[in-house]
């Protein structure tokens, strides 16, 4: 993803992925958020075109956080070192407001 930013803020330290109702480990340091989706490393392969629900809590100035809900589709999943997989997900129905929330919450990402 050309517009992706690498997370260094710790915002994604509590990333949880459930595949077929089972938790899958996600390397939060590998999470890259872009304007059209995100990539991450996990210990499970995910088939292309798998549709996933997305729920994120974006930090806000008041400390409460804003919830972003939507759906995404896996556009790529490839094996990488250590038996892990790099997954690329494209947002399907992210509203313009939610996109702004996500991008605004990335102020501390280098």
Confirm whether 109 is domain-assigned.
Answer: no
CATH classification at residue 82: 2.40.10
pLDDT at position 21 is: 73
Confirm whether 110 is domain-assigned.
Answer: no
For the chain, how many structural domains are there in total?
Answer: 1
Angle (CA) 109 16 78, round 5°: 80
How crowded is residue 32: how many other Cβ atoms within 10 Å of its Cβ? 19
Confirm whether 76 is domain-assigned.
Answer: yes
Task: Please state the pTM of the whole predicted model.
Answer: 0.72
Confirm whether 90 is domain-assigned.
Answer: yes
pLDDT at position 78 is: 96
pLDDT at position 33 is: 82
Q: What is the CA radius of gyration of the chain?
A: 13
Confirm whether 27 is domain-assigned.
Answer: yes
Spatial neighbors of 85 by CB under 8 A, at least 6 apart, are 41, 42, 43, 44, 45, 46, 77, 78, 79
Confirm whether 94 is domain-assigned.
Answer: yes
pLDDT at position 97 is: 84
Confirm whether 13 is domain-assigned.
Answer: yes
Confirm whether 85 is domain-assigned.
Answer: yes
Range of the domain at 98: 5-104
In whole angstroms, give the CA distance from residue 22 to residue 18. Answer: 5
Q: pLDDT (tens digit, 0 to 9) for every residue of the chain, 110 residues total?
A: 444 444 455 544 556 677 667 777 777 778 888 878 889 888 888 999 999 888 877 777 777 778 888 899 999 999 999 899 999 999 999 888 888 877 775 543 33
């Amino acid at each position: 993803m050309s517009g992706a930013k690498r997370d260094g803020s710790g915002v994604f330290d509590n990333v949880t992925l459930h595949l077929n109702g089972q938790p899958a480990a996600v390397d939060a340091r590998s999470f890259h958020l872009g304007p059209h989706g995100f990539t991450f490393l996990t210990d499970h392969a995910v088939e292309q075109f798998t549709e996933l629900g997305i729920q994120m809590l974006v930090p806000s100035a008041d400390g409460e956080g804003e919830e972003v809900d939507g759906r995404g589709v896996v556009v790529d999943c490839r094996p990488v070192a250590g038996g892990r997989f790099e997954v690329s997900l494209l947002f399907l129905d992210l509203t313009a407001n939610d996109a702004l929330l996500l991008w605004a919450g990335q102020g501390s990402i280098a």
